[in-house]
C-alpha cells in the first residue's frame, strides 16, 4: 500500500505540476467516488463547514468539496507522501495520521468523509475507525462513506492489505457507533465521470507510465489497482456510497 499511496502520490504531484493545475482533482481522486458520487456527498455540506477527509489520500475529494461546496477541508492520511501531495497540489491542511487514532480534537469537524478506506484496515481497526469518525464529528454532523464490500474478507485475487467487510458488517458498525444511514447508492448506478474529467485523469496516468513505466514500483502499484478493478468488474467486490448522521 505504501507504493500505491505514498510513492505514486509523489509522482502524481510532479505530473500535475507539468500538465497544469486543472489536472489535480481528477488525478487526486484515486479510486474514490466519481464527480457524481462526490456531488451526492456534497449535498450535506454548506460553505464554511470544516470537513475532515480521513484516509483522504492526495486530497482530490476534499479539494472537490472545497470547490463545489465552499467547505474548509483537512485531510488526514497515514502516508506522509499523500499528505505532502495534498498540501502541494491544493494548499490544503493535511495531517499525517491513521483512522484508528485520528489526530483531531473531539467534535472539531462539522462534516466528515472517509472514502475507500475501511477495507484497508483489519477487523478490529475498522471498529476503531468508525468510533474515531464519531468522536471527531460534531453531534448530528454528516458522514460520507465509500466502502468496498465482499462476501469474504479476502476473495481470491484480493489486493495486498485489503480485508473487505460485508455490507451487513458496515451497517452494524455504523449503528453500533450511533450513526443512522439516510442514503445509500451504488457508485455504478450514478452517471460516469464526464469525458473532460477522464481525459485529464488519463493524461496524468499516461505521463506516469512514460516517466515511471520501467520502475518496478510502478508495475507493483498498477498490479494492485488492477486486481481491485478485476474483482469489481466481476461483481466480487462492490462499492457503496453511504450518507449517515
Ligand X SMILES: C[S@@+](CC[C@H](N)C(=O)[O-])C[C@H]1O[C@@H](n2cnc3c(N)ncnc32)[C@H](O)[C@@H]1O
Closer CB to ligand X, residue 35 or residue 214? 35
Closer CB to ligand X, residue 92 or residue 214? 92
Instruction: Work out how close the CB of 200 gets to ligand X at its nearest, in angstroms, rounded to a whole number.
Output: 15
Interacting span for ligand X (CB under 6 A) from 30-38, 166-174, 192-200, 234-242:
30-38
CB neighbours of 222 closer than 8 A, spacing ≥ 6?
none
- Judged by CB under 6 A, does residue 35 bind ligand X? no
- Judged by CB under 6 A, does residue 144 bind ligand X? no
CB 97 within 8 A of CB 54: no
- Judged by CB under 6 A, does residue 116 bind ligand X? yes
CA angle 153, 154, 155 (to 5 degrees): 115
Instruction: Work out how close the CB of 87 gets to ligand X at its nearest, in angstroms, rounded to a whole number.
Output: 14
Closer CB to ligand X, residue 99 or residue 141? 99
SS3 string, 6-37, reads HHHHHHHHHHHHHHCHHHHHHHHCCCCCCHHH
Instruction: Work out how close the CB of 55 gets to ligand X at its nearest, in angstroms, rounded to a whole number.
Output: 3
Closer CB to ligand X, residue 155 or residue 161? 161
- Judged by CB under 6 A, does residue 57 bind ligand X? yes
- Judged by CB under 6 A, does residue 37 bind ligand X? no
Distances, alpha carbon 21 to alpha carbons 13, 40, 88, 224, in Å: 10, 24, 11, 27
Distances, alpha carbon 190 to alpha carbons 1, 142, 163, in Å: 28, 20, 25
Amino acid at each position: 500500500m505504501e507504493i500505491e499511496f505514498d510513492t505514486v502520490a509523489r509522482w502524481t504531484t510532479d505530473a500535475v505540476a507539468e500538465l497544469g493545475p486543472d489536472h489535480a482533482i481528477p488525478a487526486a481522486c484515486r479510486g474514490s467516488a466519481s464527480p457524481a458520487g462526490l456531488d451526492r456527498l456534497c449535498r450535506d455540506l454548506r460553505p464554511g463547514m470544516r470537513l475532515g477527509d480521513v484516509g483522504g489520500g492526495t486530497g482530490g475529494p476534499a479539494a472537490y468539496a472545497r470547490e463545489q461546496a465552499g467547505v474548509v477541508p483537512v485531510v488526514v492520511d497515514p502516508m506522509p507522501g499523500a499528505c505532502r501531495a495534498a498540501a502541494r497540489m491544493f494548499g490544503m491542511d493535511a495531517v499525517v495520521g491513521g483512522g484508528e487514532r485520528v489526530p483531531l480534537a473531539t467534535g472539531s469537524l462539522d462534516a466528515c468523509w472517509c472514502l475507500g478506506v475501511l477495507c484497508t484496515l483489519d477487523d478490529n481497526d475498522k471498529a476503531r475507525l468508525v468510533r474515531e469518525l464519531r468522536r471527531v464529528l460534531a453531534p448530528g454532523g454528516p458522514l460520507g462513506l465509500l466502502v468496498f464490500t465482499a462476501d469474504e474478507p479476502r476473495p481470491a485475487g484480493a489486493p495486498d492489505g485489503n480485508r473487505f467487510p460485508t455490507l451487513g458488517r458496515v451497517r452494524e458498525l455504523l449503528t453500533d457507533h450511533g450513526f443512522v444511514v439516510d442514503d445509500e447508492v451504488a457508485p455504478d448506478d450514478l452517471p460516469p465521470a464526464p469525458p473532460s474529467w477522464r481525459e485529464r485523469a488519463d493524461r496524468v496516468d499516461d505521463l506516469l507510465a512514460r516517466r515511471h513505466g520501467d520502475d518496478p514500483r510502478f508495475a507493483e502499484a498498477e498490479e494492485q489497482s488492477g486486481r481491485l478493478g478485476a474483482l469489481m468488474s466481476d461483481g466480487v467486490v462492490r462499492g457503496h456510497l453511504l450518507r449517515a448522521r
